Every structure is written in C-alpha cells, then in structure tokens.
C-alpha cells in the first residue's frame, strides 16, 4: 500500500497529468487541426500561447483563493473549470473560438497547478520532500508519455475534437481522488482583502508583454504599436512591484526572491523552461511537416521524451545523495543543452531508433533538472509564505513556456523567410537552427546554478 507521502503527490499532480496530456496531444494534432480549421499550422501557436497566457494572467489570484476558501475546495473547482474548458474547445468551429475557449480552459489551469503544489508543500515534511517530488513527477510524465501517441491515434482514427473531450473523464477522476484522499489543511492562513488593483496591474502587464511578443512578425499590429504595448506592459509590472513593496499583504510577495534557492529555481530555471516550451511545439511539426511522417509515427517517437522523464524516478534520489543538488543541476543542464542541439541534427533519413534514444536521454536529463529545482527551490521558504512561492513559481513556469512556444514559432518563421520559403509550408531545414538556439539558451541557467553552495539542500533527502 502506498504511503501518505506518495499518495498526496500523485493526487495533487493529477492536474499536471491533464495539462501535459492536453498539451502533448494537441502538439501532435496541430497539422490536423490546421487543415480542419483552414489555417496555417504555425498560426495554431495562438491556441497554445493563449492558454499559457491565460494561466499567467489568472495565476496571481490562485494563492489568495486557496488561503481564503481552502486549498482542497479550490483544487476541485479548478479541475472542474479546466474540464469544462476542454469540452468547449472540443466544440470550437474556428481558430478565434478555439483561442477564446483555451483562455477559459487556462482559467481553471491557473488555479489547479499552484494550489496542488501548495497542498503538497504544506502536507509533506522536508525530510521526505525529494521522494515526494519524484512521485509528483509521475502523473505529468505519464501525461507526456501518453499524449503524443494518443494524439496520433485520435487524429488517425477519429476527429481531432477528441483530443479535448478525452480530458473530461480524467478530470472527473482527479476530482474524485482529491475528495477521497486529501484532507483540509488546518494551518491555512486567513488572507486579507483581495488586492484587485494589484491583480489588474499584473494581468495587464503580463498580457501586454506576452501579447506583443506573440504578435511580432505577424503583420497584424504596426511595429510602433507593438513597442508601445510592450512598454505599457513593462510599466504596469514596474508599478506593481513598487506598489507591492509598501503593502503588508501584496497579491504576490516578490520579496521571497531574496531566498537564494528560490531565486535560482525561478530566475535560473527560466531559460530551461523556455526550452521546454519550445521543444514539444517544434518536434511534432518538424517530424510531420518537415519529414513527412504520419501523426501516429510522430507521436510514437516524441513520447520518448516523456518515457525518459518517467525514468527519473529510478535515479533521482540516488543522484542527489551521490553528487548533491549543485553538481546535478550543472551537469544535467549541460547535457540538456547537448540534447536540444542534437535534435537539430535529425534528418528525414535518420533512423527512428536513433531519434527515439536521443529524445529518451533528453527527457531524462531535462526532468532531473526540473525535479531538483522544484525540490530545492522551496527549501528555504517559510510555511506562511508558501502560497506566494507556489503561485510565483507557477507564473514563472507558464510565462517561460509561453515564451518558448512564441520563440519556436518565430524562429521557424524567420528561417523559412530567410531561406526563401513560406511559414505556411516549412521545410525540414527551417527547423534545424531553432533547436540550436533553444539548446544555447539553456546554458544561461548555469550562471545561477554555479553560485549555489556545494551542500545546498543537504537536509532534503
């Protein structure tokens, strides 16, 4: 029978299973959705970034809602909202409708991810946190594992709409598991009044900044207007920061970035998360549009990254005890860079076994970095400030993923234009430089990891 420190991570990670299943299934189905809705495949990054943007915008309220109404209750409501959004996405008849429904889906996702992590952090003692975090990665790994193959099967045998409708039964199971296994947390703090002006400043700032990045190169908005939008977004974020310093209970307490391990996890981990956002978007498109593979074959190959991530559970605790958090983060980040760059060496003639093994290794080392960061990042945070830390962590994660998708689409578009081609029908050569850039970006994380002490996180295993 599973112990409590294993059951709780599995239950609260169920939303991450839903999100990863949703994202990986959709990535495999992008060409099919594009044909059905009569749009360019690269334009469907709007459907991905709109969801991630919605997450980033609504995430700031999740910590306050969890403290005000109870983490368990908000967790269940959030999963229900995500499932409803999935249903509407499955009924969409056009790209604008799909984008709007993805925003609604993101509203549920914005609450269920940080609240689930908050429940875990408040329920598991520090000595069991490494083991708990490893189990916390199992459901999302299964989501990434099943997603590409499930997506390939769905678009091959039936309508793409089922990639969204399949979330409904999983959502119901997640709610049932939470109701049965999770307890109300007795030490949940009682927050003050909701900081609505702060929420508006953050929401506007994030929307304007990410929106301007998303619109670059699409000839939808004039360039001066894009600069103005980005400037207003940065100004709103700055005003929020200055305002929050003078408030006793800010919506998001940015002062927690003063803790070195949390700062390394949030800021240092951002380049790695940008790469994580770009790669699952680029790989299925390269394999299907560039190499001419079927959705089913593409899904079977890209599921290797999730299989590698799942294998992390077998080696993570041993690796941390053997070399420590700092050495693990530095070594695994370097290997992650090598793996992403090697994706750009794939050719249509590359044996599928070679592609699968390379993606498998990439998933393993990437997951090791993420598990280490998630465990170490919260080690210095006091319990009363855990809701702020969990929310800020989720905001940074979703912002990075959104930047990754936008970066991936922009790089392929730019290379296609440089090669004299079209973003509507990118060739295999248009994807190769993008993976080189993505791999190089991950190395910026090393500037933060090398500053950690050698015995950092010694009490977590």
| Residue 38 phi, psi (nearest 5) | 60, 50
Q: Is-contact 102 288, C-beta < 8 A?
A: no
Q: Which of 12-16, 149-153, 414-418, 457-461 bottoms out in mean pLDDT, i.e. has the lowest? A: 457-461
Residues 154 and 299 in one domain: yes
Q: Is 356 within 8 Å of 293 (Cβ atoms)? A: no
Mean pLDDT over each residue of the chain, to the nearest integer: 81
In this prediction, residues 134-142 reach a mean pLDDT of 71
Total count of residues recorded for the chain: 461
The pLDDT tens digits for 363-384 are: 889 888 888 888 888 778 887 7
Given a cut of 70, is residue 179 above it in pLDDT?
Answer: yes
**How many percent of the chain have pLDDT more than 70?**
88
Residues 295 and 209 in one domain: no
Q: Do 175 and 244 fall within a single domain?
A: no
Q: Tokens 């803790």 identify what position?
A: 259
Residue 398 is encoded by which pair of tokens? 């979703």
Task: Provide the residue range defining the domain that includes 246.
Answer: 195-250
The Cα 41–Cα 285 span in angstroms is 8
Judged by average pLDDT, the poorest of 194-198, 232-236, 330-334 is 194-198
Which residues, at least 6 apart from 24, have a Cβ–Cβ distance to it below 8 Å? 143, 144, 146, 147, 148, 151, 280, 302, 306
**CA 330 to CA 450: how far, in whole Å?**
7
Is residue 232 located within the same domain as residue 344?
A: no
Question: Does residue 282 lie within any of the structural domains?
Answer: yes
The rounded distance, in Å, linking the Cα atoms of 150 and 127 is 37
Domain limit, last residue, from 250, 276, 292 = 250
Q: Do 164 and 313 reside in the same domain of the chain?
A: yes
Residue-level pLDDT at 167 = 82
Summarize pLDDT for 183-216 with one digit per residue, the tens.
Answer: 766 555 666 778 888 888 888 888 787 777 766 6
CA-angle at 60, arms to 104 and 449, nearest 5°? 115
Q: Where is the domain boundary, 214, 231, 250?
A: 250
Look up residue 253 and give its DSSP letter: -
Over the stretch 148-164, which tens digit does the pLDDT of each residue have? 677 778 877 888 888 88
220 part of a folded domain: yes
Q: Can you state the angle between helices 95-123 and 386-418, rounded to 10 degrees?
A: 140
End-of-domain residue from the set 211, 233, 250 = 250
Q: Are 214 and 315 within one domain?
A: no
CB 18 within 8 A of CB 145: no
The average pLDDT across 244-267 equals 83
Q: 């290797």: which residue's tokens?
A: 304
Q: Residue 65's domain is classified under what CATH number?
A: 1.20.1250.20
Cα separation of 402 and 400, whole Å?
Answer: 5
The total number of structural domains in the chain stands at 2
Radius of gyration of the chain (CA): 21
The pLDDT value recorded for residue 337 is 94
Q: Is 228 left (phi over 0), alpha (psi -120 to 50) or beta?
A: alpha
Task: Provide the pLDDT for residue 422.
Answer: 67
Shared domain for 83 and 149, answered yes or no, is: yes
pLDDT band for 334, please (50, 70, 90 cuts): very high
Between residues 250 and 190, the one the model is more confident about: 250
Provide the CA 442 distance to its chain's centre, in angstroms.
Answer: 15
Q: What is the mean pLDDT of residues 241-254?
A: 79
Tell me: do 281 and 408 sit in the same domain.
Answer: yes
With respect to residue 20, please indicate whether it lies within any of the assigned structural domains.
Answer: yes
Q: How many CB atoms lie within 10 A of CB 346?
A: 22
- In this predicted structure, the answer to whether residue 19 has a pLDDT above a threshold of 70 is yes
pLDDT in tens, 293-316: 887 888 788 888 878 877 776 777
For the cut 50, the answer to whether the pLDDT of residue 388 exceeds it is yes
Whether residue 189 lies inside any domain: the answer is no
Residue 15 and residue 130 share a domain: yes
Confirm whether 94 is domain-assigned. yes
Contact 52, 61 (CB under 8 A): no
User: Is the model's pLDDT at 401 over the cut of 90?
Assistant: no
Residue 368 lies in a domain: yes
pLDDT category of residue 12 using cuts at 50, 70 and 90: confident
State which of 90-94, 137-141, 377-381, 390-394 shows the largest mean pLDDT: 90-94
- Cβ contact 70:184 at 8 Å: yes
Is residue 461 a part of any domain in this protein?
no
Q: Tell whether 235 and 96 lie within a shared domain.
A: no
Together in a domain, 153 and 203? no
pLDDT in tens, 50-80: 786 787 678 778 777 887 888 888 888 988 9
Residue position matching structure tokens 């990891």: 449
376 and 289 in one domain?
yes
Structure confidence at residue 1 (pLDDT)? 45
pLDDT score for 371? 83
Tell me whether residue 218 is in a domain: yes
Query: What does the pLDDT average to over 66-95?
Result: 86
Residue with more model confidence, 325 or 460: 325
Read off the pTM. 0.73
Q: Which residue has the higher pLDDT, 390 or 435?
A: 435
């Amino acid at each position: 029978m599973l112990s409590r420190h294993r059951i709780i991570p599995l239950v609260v990670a169920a939303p991450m299973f839903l999100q990863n299943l949703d994202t990986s299934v959709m990535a495999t189905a992008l060409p099919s959705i594009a044909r059905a809705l009569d749009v360019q495949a690269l334009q469907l990054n709007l459907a991905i970034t709109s969801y991630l943007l919605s997450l980033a915008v609504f995430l700031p309220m999740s910590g306050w809602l969890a403290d005000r109404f109870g983490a368990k209750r908000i967790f269940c409501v959030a999963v229900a909202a995500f499932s409803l959004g999935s249903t509407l996405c499955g009924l969409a008849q056009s790209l604008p409708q799909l984008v709007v429904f993805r925003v609604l889906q993101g509203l549920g996702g914005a609450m269920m991810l940080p609240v689930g992590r908050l429940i875990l952090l408040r329920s598991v003692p520090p000595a069991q946190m490494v083991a708990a975090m490893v189990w916390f990665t199992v459901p999302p790994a299964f989501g990434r594992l099943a997603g590409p193959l499930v997506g390939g099967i769905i678009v091959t045998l039936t309508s793409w709409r089922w990639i969204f409708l399949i979330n409904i039964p999983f959502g119901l199971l997640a709610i049932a598991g939470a109701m049965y296994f999770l307890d109300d947390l007795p030490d949940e703090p009682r927050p003050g009044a909701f900081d609505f002006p702060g929420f508006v400043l953050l929401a506007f700032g994030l929307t304007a900044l990410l929106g301007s990045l998303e619109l670059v190169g699409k000839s939808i908005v004039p360039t001066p207007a894009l600069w103005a939008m980005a400037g207003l977004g940065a100004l709103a974020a700055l005003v929020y920061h200055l305002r929050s310093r003078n408030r006793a209970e800010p919506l998001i307490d940015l002062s927690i970035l003063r803790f070195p391990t949390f700062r390394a996890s949030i800021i240092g981990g951002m380049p790695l998360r940008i790469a994580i956002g770009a790669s699952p978007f680029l790989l299925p498109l390269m394999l299907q549009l560039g190499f001419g593979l079927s959705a089913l074959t593409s899904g079977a190959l890209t599921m290797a990254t999730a299989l590698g991530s799942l294998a992390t559970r077998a080696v993570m605790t041993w690796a941390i005890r053997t070399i420590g958090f700092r050495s693990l983060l530095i070594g695994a980040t370097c290997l992650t860079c090598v793996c992403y760059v090697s994706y750009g060496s794939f050719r249509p003639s590359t044996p599928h076994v070679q592609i699968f093994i390379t993606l498998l290794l990439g998933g393993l080392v990437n997951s090791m970095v993420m598990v280490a960061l998630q465990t170490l990042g919260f080690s210095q945070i006091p319990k009363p400030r855990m809701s702020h830390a969990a929310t800020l962590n989720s905001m940074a994660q979703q912002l990075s993923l959104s930047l990754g998708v936008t970066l991936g689409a922009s790089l392929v578009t730019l290379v296609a234009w440089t090669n004299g081609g079209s973003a509507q029908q990118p060739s295999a050569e248009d994807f190769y430089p993008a993976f080189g850039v993505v791999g190089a970006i991950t190395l910026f994380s090393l500037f933060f990891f090398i500053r950690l002490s050698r015995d950092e996180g010694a009490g977590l295993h």
